[in-house]
Amino acid sequence: MRTLKDNTNITPELLEAVERYYNGTMALQKRTLFKEQLHKDGDFKILVEDIRTTLLGIEGQALKERLEAFHEEISKHNPVVASTPKVRFLSFSKIAIAAGIILVLGMLWFLSGSTNDRLFAKYFRPDPGLPTTMSSSDNFAFYDAMVNYKQGDYATAISKWEKLEQKAPENDTLNYFLGVAYLAQKNAEKAVPYLKKTANNAESVFLQDAFYYMGLAYLKSDKLEEAKNAFQKSQSDKSQEILNRLN
């Protein structure tokens, strides 16, 4: 379970990194690494989104204060033409304020946020995927989509795999990765049917993992009994950890 300690790691460097990432001033290599971490670490993604929301809120407040001051000057001097002063982006002092606000937001999130959402964010990591170095021309379309999947482009991977799945609807590998890809998009409703198809194949090498991701999908949908049942069938260490928290 995510704790308040997670939010004490907010440093001025992280806040400035988030600012540079969203305003397009981050160096390309750092931006690539930052984006990869967002895809891989659910807790980090939530933290970054909280920071961004707070920074935007402070920026909006700064604009409001400057506009109010501007209108006060207009009322005093009643000029015929006036121009709106430019708003500078966040100063370091505002970033420091943002850190304090985010800590408060983190506390509120911890106290009132959904336990199921927190567990999902903590435990969901997309399957790393299959090696894409195979040269089999028969499987080119599948591995072409696998490249998109491993790059975090789940929409493209899904589009390609669904075309293949129409020709081989019982293929456990296709169904498994389609389910995980949809879950990576936070679409649990779409993920479950594909994962179920894989789980119904007792010979599938993805059997235990399919039950694990199915449990996460049900967890995200707040279907606790279905989630517990899937985790029990998975029998993985992580499934047991989640069951202990749910019980």
Query: 203-242: per-residue pLDDT in tens?
Result: 999 999 999 999 999 999 999 999 999 999 998 999 999 9
- Asked whether the whole model's pTM tops 0.85, one would answer no
Which helix (H) or strand (E) is 232 found in, with range? helix 224-234
- For 162, how many CA atoms within 13 A lie in the half-sphere containing its CB? 13
Burial (CB count <10 Å: 0-12, 13-18, 19+), residue 32: exposed
3-state helix, strand, coil in the chain (%, to 5): 75, 0, 25
CB distance 206 to 173 below 8 Å: yes
Alpha helices (H) in 24-128, listed in sequence order: 28-40, 42-77, 92-112, 115-123
- Phi then psi for 129, rounded to 5 degrees? 90, 175
Query: 35-85: per-residue pLDDT in tens?
Result: 888 888 887 888 888 777 766 665 555 545 555 555 565 555 554 444 444
Query: 135-185: per-residue pLDDT in tens?
Result: 454 588 898 999 999 999 999 999 999 999 999 999 999 999 999 999 999
As a whole number of angstroms, the distance between CA 58 and CA 63 comes to 9
Sole residue written with tokens 């379970």: 1
As a whole number of angstroms, the distance between CA 214 and CA 63 comes to 46
Q: Which of 26, 33, 20 is nearest to 152 (CA)?
A: 33
